[in-house]
Amino acid sequence: MNYIKHLNTLFQKVYSDDRLNTSHISLYMAAFQFWNVSRFSPKFYVNREELCRMSKIGSNRTYQKCMNDLHKWKYLNYKPSHNPFKGSQIKMFIFAPTATPSSAQTTTATGSTLVHQAVNRYIKHDKTVTNKPKHAKAVFDFFKAKKFPEEEAAAFLLHYDQAGWLTSNGEAIQNWQAIAEHWMQVSIAAGEKRKTRKAPKFEDPLQVENQKNYGEPL
């Protein structure tokens, strides 16, 4: 399974599907990560609590609604389990770019077989943004060159695509590579913080520092 082509086509679907909200996308990407861990198995099992934690969904009702929507809209196949010892079954549908006469001619002319330019419409052309990735592969290649996993690249891409490629101050991004490097630095810092976090020290109230001489009178 070519995950780059899959994600490229997924982002195109996300961009054009007005039914989706951030919870749908976050939940799908969490399921995608579990699919990745299972080596893209045809079917795999997930735990609701783990999916909610990864997707940052705090409500069981929101989780259930979004998962049912993704199932109904053919983003994945979801079979819930009521057995506490067995997770729910998920089957991810593989998305691949659909060739059109124009895209096929372009691919033949350029000799490119990695990325189909015709399906990279998820990034909207905006004259206010002078420097942003032309297609998803540019972002994945940039993160790969920095030795970062594709999940980080996907999260970065989804975040700023939803934000309209604007900074937190509402200004158009002028250098997406610099923003991506900052994203990586924040991710590294968060990882280091988790590693250095110490467990709280347990103090035994019955433990005393001074050794008592039991030969002394009371």
Question: pLDDT tens, 150-206?
Answer: 888 888 888 887 777 787 777 888 888 888 898 888 888 777 666 666 555 555 555
pLDDT at 83: 78
Rounded to an integer, what distance in angstroms lies between the CA atom of residue 29 and that of residue 11?
Answer: 11
* pLDDT number for residue 2: 82
Mean pLDDT for the chain? Answer: 77
- pLDDT recorded at residue 106: 39
What pLDDT is attached to residue 89? Answer: 94
**For the chain, what's the residue count?**
218
Of the candidates 29, 38, 19, 61, the one whose C-alpha atom is nearest the C-alpha of residue 151 is 29
Of 203, 200, 3, 5, the closest CA to residue 114 belongs to 5
- C-alpha distances in angstroms, 146 versus 6, 60, 100, 140? 22, 37, 34, 10
pLDDT at 166: 81
Burial of 81 (0-12, 13-18, 19+ CB in 10 A): middle
Rg (CA), the chain: 24
- Structure tokens belonging to residue 127: 């004259």
Residues 6+ positions from 178 with CB-CB distance below 8 Å: none
In angstroms, the Cα distances linking 54 to 9, 31, 58, 151 are 23, 9, 10, 12
Evaluate whether 121 touches 135 at the Cβ level (below 8 Å).
no
CB atoms within 10 A of CB 48: 16
Positions of the chain with pLDDT under 50: 99-127, 129
Amino acid type, 46: V
Q: At what angle do helices 3-16 and 22-37 cross, to 10 degrees?
A: 170
How far is residue 169's CA from residue 97's CA, in Å, rounded to a whole number?
Answer: 35
Q: Scan for tokens 């009702």, then name that residue.
A: 61
